[in-house]
Chains A and B, each alone.
Chain A
């Protein structure tokens, strides 16, 4: 998100799901769409079959989406900047860039050009393993599109160069003039049902709802009026920085609502050590998760089906969530728990209904200004929606970018924080499976889904497996500099040689024991997609 803010001024999916079928060419990079966003994938497949769109898939693994195209480029994990610079190199060398768009709507193009010109397809082939000719073909295809849409997900962001990867994607979209039209755009697919909303609402160290910087005088004034409280002046810590602050003894207590860092965060041994060091840990969740087991107080919240409110989906669409059943047992909706806690601590949080909170959000958040509870009960609305009469915004940056001109950023390829060596010769990359979701708190408790997919298996290329004498369902040990995990093998041609893939849903094989907590310096995202491991027969 940080990357898109720098380039465009706003960090969200630029286009709508509805207009995927209007794309002539779709470029999907670092998104296993059929498994992680199945309904988005339906639209992509529809674009290919019903509307004859072309699809380019750039992913180390031969994911299922590759079955719908003959243009699959398999890059070595962590080489995305090189690949994207390579695509742009071909486009510029062959004069296929959108000069009009570059002149009228962007700045700093010359700097981009200077950098990109060094990334010849042959040089990129050496770094990424993608044949120079394939790269050329893909570049020409994308540049020729009337409407070219780019989709990406955590395969792009979960790197120490995540922000640079996103900047490169923004560069490519601007270079080809694919911004502000139906069927084009830069489309980060948000992984969790309300991750867009959680960001929008200011569950971020740097900003209050609507990405209003905590240091901004306007928002400080507004919070004083509406909250009756002074905003803290000092900057805050991001989730991955919190762990280190705990270990340094600076953070003594944590309040965790609906998250399970003991399975989702990198380098779990490190995380566990931190949680055990806390003086006080409060966890609010629907199950006794691995994190809740370490808590001093556990507060039972409720699931999506037991509460009212709103969620914001990946295309910035705010939609109504309706209570279907009463809270299970003595559990309570999270909003009630927080307001009760605030009251006992001497701060008046008196909301009779969820709608009152929705309307307070509208009053304090310009992008949600027209999204009242009454309105969203009747229709879904895509932000920005500044007032009651505004219809919402299906496509961002149509006339001009949020920041005015789109900004090119010249970025150089940097290798991942940890590279393979003799001792740890495999690249480990992590991800998700169709039948499970995040740390499995919900899906591992859904009997049908868990029966379909009961256990974690490490995907290993047949040639590597043969060398190591590993067969399907053999137990193996994966060992990194940080830990060791025992797991069954799945001999899978879909992973390239030298790479192994493990989903992170399973507490029985917590792959984040192995991952590297090295962060992207800007977005603070850990490099979950690349670390070095050794594979041994158990």
Chain B
């Protein structure tokens, strides 16, 4: 494929055609701020904080929606760009609930980060503010329009990726808001509660209800693993605080799901710390299951299996392995049945 040569911030860069300035900059570790961009979505160019200067262009161009061409000379960090970005963020903050002290998204909020980077301590635009009260009775997704910056990411991910189109913009100008059909609770719409909108929201407008006050991003350890539900094999980031799972997130840059997940993957984790989890081996004594030690439990099973094997033969014992256990555990289970018990009576519920 033909190569393209361009210059970004005085650095010569070679790349392939078909990419945007934002993508090429990212690949070369040149940071351009964004608010309305998500690699899962089509370029939109709404927020304008990614504007860059391109030599010969009549206006500043959005890096997220401008493809690179050969010979392009781009600047991402000039004084006029700084002024524009600052004005945009000030305007957004002028109608934004500044409850960062308790906001779930503090520390992972792109608006907060940008305000910090641009050093916005005071706002030139004091004026009218909206106050919205949203009562959404679904148990999973918290919607707070007071923190919405109208970037349209939730609207677009629901339309472009989920293809469910639950959200839309209503009203115009200063009064524009994101709403649902007839302004109903998500649970009364065709929403599948996949939480894709939460995953793309750059601020605290959309957050996970179950994670409320459970832990903020700097207190959390993230571990990447594979979802326990269907066979898609999505990668999930388990967020842990004090040994407990407090949230599940995704990474747009890895896994077969590339940042996408469904309701089960995103919200079906709290069974892990459910109080009814079995925490001790149990043996049946006088008809009741009672707690016992591991040593006794294992010994009971070993003795009983050995006796039955001796009396009735190996084929009098059968094992069921599990499609929820790991490969290693399934391998060991069939090895145990074949090598230790001595039977091929081993199966699992693939058929059910």
Residues of A with Cβ closer than 8 Å to B?
Answer: 1, 17-18, 34, 36-40, 42, 45-46, 49, 68, 157-158, 189-206, 208-209, 214, 223, 227-229, 231-232, 234-240, 242, 245-246, 250-259, 261, 264-265, 279-280, 282, 285-288, 292-293, 295-301, 303-315, 317-326, 328-335, 337-342, 344-345, 347, 349, 354, 357-358, 360-361, 380, 434-437, 441-443, 445-449, 451-452, 523-526, 528
Contacts and interface: CB of A to CB of B under 8 A. Distances in A.
Contacts of B245: 305, 324-325
B334 A201 contact: yes
B126 interface: no
A442 B272 CA distance: 8
Interface in B324-350: 324-340, 342-350
A253 B316 contact: yes
A17 B287 CA distance: 50
A299 to B, nearest CB: 5
Nearest to B163: A45
Interface stretch (B14-22, B52-60, B277-285): B277-285
A45 B192 CA distance: 15
A73 B268 CA distance: 33
Range of interface residues on B (Cβ < 8 Å) = 35 or more
A203 B228 contact: no
Contacts of A358: 327-328
B15 to A, nearest CB: 23
Contacts of B125: none
Given A324-B225, A324-B245, A198 B284 contact: no
A300 B231 contact: no
B352 A526 contact: yes
A229 B326 contact: no
A283 to B, nearest CB: 9
Contacts of A18: 256
B327 A229 contact: no
B260 interface: yes
A198 B330 contact: yes
A524 B348 CA distance: 12
Interface centre among B271, B279, B306 (most CB of A within 10 A): B271
Given A257-B329, A319-B235, A334-B333, 17 more contacts: A38-B230, A39-B256, A39-B260, A193-B233, A203-B346, A227-B338, A232-B343, A234-B344, A255-B337, A297-B282, A303-B271, A305-B269, A322-B224, A324-B238, A344-B299, A437-B230, A526-B352
Contacts of A197: 323, 326-327, 330
Contact of B279 (A38, A323, A328, A334): A328
Contacts of B82: none
A527 to B, nearest CB: 11
A297 B295 CA distance: 12
B347 A237 contact: yes
Nearest to A349: B332
Interface-centre pick from A49, A317, A345 (highest chain B CB count, 10 A): A345
Given A198-B322, A251-B345, A255-B319, A203 B225 contact: no
B345 A319 contact: no
Contacts of B276: 287-288, 445
Pairs of residues from A and B, 3 with the lowest C-beta to C-beta distance, nearest first: A329-B279, A313-B233, A236-B344
Contacts of B198: none
A324 B300 CA distance: 31
Interface in B231-269: 231-235, 238, 240, 243-245, 256-257, 260-264, 267-269
B271 A443 contact: yes
Contacts of A308: 326
Interface string B159-194: 011110000000000000000000000010000111
B305 interface: yes
Contact of B346 (A200, A204, A299): A204
Most A Cβ at <10 Å: residue of B194, B223, B325: B325
Interface of B: 138-140, 160-163, 187, 192-194, 209-210, 223-235, 238, 240, 243-245, 256-257, 260-264, 267-274, 276-284, 289, 294, 297-302, 304-306, 308, 312, 314-340, 342-352
B350 A198 contact: yes
Nearest to A197: B327
Contacts of A305: 225, 228, 238, 245, 269, 272
A265 B229 CA distance: 19
A258 B322 contact: yes
Contacts of A254: 317-320
Nearest to A38: B262
A255 B305 CA distance: 9
16 contacts: A17-B232, A34-B192, A190-B231, A198-B321, A203-B333, A232-B315, A292-B278, A297-B282, A303-B271, A304-B225, A332-B294, A334-B333, A435-B264, A437-B229, A449-B263, A526-B352
B169 to A, nearest CB: 20
A357 B330 CA distance: 11
A318 B138 CA distance: 35
B65 to A, nearest CB: 17
B301 A341 contact: yes
Given A253-B305, A324-B245, A338-B333, A298 B326 contact: no
B329 A227 contact: no
Contact of B268 (A1, A255, A314, A442): A442
Contact of B352 (A204, A239, A319): A239
Contact of B226 (A253, A304, A326): A304
A300 B278 contact: yes
A43 B342 CA distance: 45
Given A214-B344, A525-B351, A322 B282 contact: no
B244 to A, nearest CB: 7
B279 A310 contact: no
A139 B120 CA distance: 63
Contact of A338 (B235, B273, B329): B329
A274 to B, nearest CB: 11
Contacts of A331: 277-279
A361 B279 CA distance: 30
B45 to A, nearest CB: 19
A449 B279 contact: no
A194 B351 contact: no
B208 to A, nearest CB: 9
Contacts of B334: 201-204, 208-209
B243 to A, nearest CB: 5
B171 to A, nearest CB: 27
Specify which of A37, A39, A279 lies most central, judged by the most chain B CB atoms within 10 Å of its CB: A39
A250 B313 CA distance: 10
Contacts of A323: 223
B328 A252 contact: no
Contacts of B297: 297, 299
Contact of B316 (A214, A232, A250): A250
A261 B328 CA distance: 22
Nearest to B138: A452
Contacts of A258: 321-325
B240 A313 contact: no
A237 B320 CA distance: 10
Contact of A306 (B231, B272, B330, B345): B272
Given A194-B324, A203-B346, A214-B344, A300 B338 contact: no
B308 A443 contact: no
Contacts of B304: 253, 279-280, 296-297
Contact of B263 (A205, A261, A339, A452): A452
A175 B66 CA distance: 45
A447 B270 contact: yes
A354 B326 contact: yes
Contacts of B324: 192-194, 258, 304
A395 B269 CA distance: 33
A40 B256 CA distance: 10
Contacts of A311: 226, 233, 326-327
Contacts of A236: 318, 343-347
Output the residue of A189, A264, A314, A447 with the most chain B CB within 10 A: A447
Contacts of A1: 350
